[in-house]
Structure 1
C-alpha cells in the first residue's frame, strides 16, 4: 500500500524490473508483473484508512470469517474487514505482538507460491518470540492441518521454518534460539524478500531514485541480501545469489 501509485510503479519498475497492468479492482490497484507473471500488487491508500505505507504478506485462507474470528479469539487485532475485494474477500490484521499481515479468501494464481519462479523469494517474520508466533499463525492459518495445501512449521536452529511441500516459504525469527527468552527490543514485522540478479545494481537504483538502504548487506553460503526502503519509507528486502569465488 502506497500514497502515490504512479510514483511507486516507477520506482519498482526500475529497481525490480517490474511491469504493471490494471486489475478488476479499479484505478487504485495494479498488478506487478515480471516476465509476464504476476508477483505482487500495489494499491493506493485510501485517505480514510490510517495505515502505514508498507509491504504486507497476504495468506490464502478457506474462510475469511473463520480466520477473523480465530484472530480475535487469540488476543490479536482485526484492522480491516473481512471485506469484499474483487473476486474474493480480504482482511488486514495484527498478530498479538503487533506484526501486520493480511489474509485472502478467493481465487489465487495457479501454481504460484513463495519461493518459486518470480514470486517473492521468501517471507520473514521478525518477532519477539518465534515459538509463540508459530503457535498463533498455526492456529489461525491452519499450518498444522492435513492435506496437500497445508503448510508445516518446524523448529530449526534459531528459527521456526515454514514449508509448503518442498518449498521453504517463511522464517520466523525471535532474535535468539527458540528455547531462549523473548527479545523485548525487536519490533515485530513481516519482511518480504524479492529476488534480484544483481544486489549492487538494485541498491544503486534504489538510492538514485530517492530510496535508501535500511541495514547492511548480509550473506550466507548461497545468497546475499539487504533491507531497502522505497522513497515513501516502505521496507522490502532484495536477495541475490552468492557470487562464485575465484
Structure 2
C-alpha cells in the first residue's frame, strides 16, 4: 500500500520553517530532545543544512551559518509560491527587499529570502521535489506563524499585494491591533501590532509556533536543555502558550492547541 501524496501548499500559505545557527550539531541535539526530531541531509548551497523529520515526514530545516556571518539567529517562515522570481519581483515593487536569491536548491525547489517594508524577514518557496512541511497537528510540528510588528495597517497592504491574502480584523484579540490573514477563507497566519512593546533588539519579526503535548513540561525541558523561557506558560485564545528561546537565542512559541 503506497502512502498518499503530500498535497502542494496553496500559494501564499506558510509551507516551511528554517533556522540558521552557528552550532549545527548542538542545535540538532536540542531540538531532538525537545521535539523528537530526527535529521536527514538537505540542499547545501548555503552551507551545511539538514531537514528535521517526524515519523519519516519533513517538518523543518536547520542550516549552519558561515563562521564570519554574525546574523541574528531566528526561525524564518517560508510562504509557498508558484514562481519565486515573479514573487521576488513583487516583493521589491511593493517596498520589500530580497536578500538571498532567487536560487535553485538542488532539485528540491527554488527559493528566496526577503523582508517586508518594516524589516521582518521571511522566505518564499517554489516547490519541486520538496513540497515543504509534510505533517501537522502533532508534537514538534509548526502550528502557526504571526508577524510581530509595531502596527499592522501599513504592512498588511504589503502582504495583501504580494500574496493575495484576505485580511480580517479580530475584535476579540488582545491587543486590538490584530489581523488574521486568510486564503480561500482559511486562516493561515496573523499580523500582531504591539507598538512600543516590540523588542528593541529584534525589531519586527515573524514568530513561529510549534505544537507540543504539554506546554508546561516542554518549557521545563527547554530550560533543562540550556534554553530560556521568555514568557511563562499561560492560557491564550487558542491554547496554552509559552515563548522560549533555544541555546543560541532563536525565539519561538510553544502551544498546546485547542483548535
Give the alignment's TM-score, normalised by structure 2.
Answer: 0.78
**2:72 corresponds to which residue?**
52
Residues 111 and 174 of structure 1: is their aligned pair in 2 closer, same or farther, counting only changes over 3 Å?
Answer: closer
Q: What is the correspondence of 1:46-125 to structure 2 with a 5 Å cutoff?
A: 46-47=66-67, 49-86=69-106, 87-107=108-128, 108-109=130-131, 112=134, 116=137, 119-125=141-147
Change in 2 beyond 3 A, CA 1:5/1:111: closer
Q: How does 1:114-193 map to 2 (within 5 A)?
A: 116=137, 119-143=141-165, 152-157=166-171, 158=176, 159-165=178-184, 167-175=186-194, 183-186=195-198, 187-193=203-209
Residue 17, structure 1, aligned to residue 33, structure 2: no
Structure 1: gaps (5+ residues)? 144-151, 176-182
Structure 1 SS opposite 2:34: helix
Q: How far did residue 123 of structure 1 move?
A: 0.5
Is the 2:95–2:158 contact (alpha carbons within 8 Å) kept by the matching residues of 1? Answer: no
Residues 139 and 112 (structure 1), Cα distance of their counterparts in 2 relative to 1, 3 Å cut: farther
**Residue deviations 1:175-197 (CA, integer Å, cap 9, x gap):** 3xxxxxxx255231100000000
Measured in 1, the distance between the counterparts of 2:257 and 2:161 equals 34
CA contact (8 A) 2:113 2:121 kept: yes
Structure 2 portions without partners, runs of 5+? 1-19
1:16-50 per-residue CA deviation (whole Å, 9 max, x = no partner) reads 12111223447711111123221111111134655
SS at match of 1:214: strand
Cα gap change, 1:218/1:39 in structure 2, threshold over 3 Å: closer, same or farther? same
Question: 1:23-38, aligned counterparts within 5 Å?
Answer: 23-25=42-44, 28-38=48-58
1:63-102 deviation per Cα after TM superposition (whole angstroms, max 9, x unaligned):
2222222222222222111122222221111111111111
Is the CA contact 1:71–1:95 (under 8 Å) kept in the aligned structure 2?
Answer: yes
Calculate the TM-score normalised by the size of structure 1.
Answer: 0.82
Shift of the alpha carbon at 1:163? Answer: 2.9
Specify whether residues 71 and 165 from structure 1 end up closer, same or farther in structure 2 by C-alpha distance, changes over 3 A only: closer
Shift of 1:110: 7.7
Q: Matches of 1:79 and 1:24 in 2, distance apart?
A: 19
- Number of residue-to-residue matches in the alignment: 226
Corresponding residue number in structure 2 for 1:178: none
Write out per-residue CA displacement over residues 130-180 of structure 1, whole angstroms, 9 at most, x where no aligned residue.
13222111212233xxxxxxxx332222321123456532111113xxxxx
RMSD of the TM alignment (CA)? 2.4
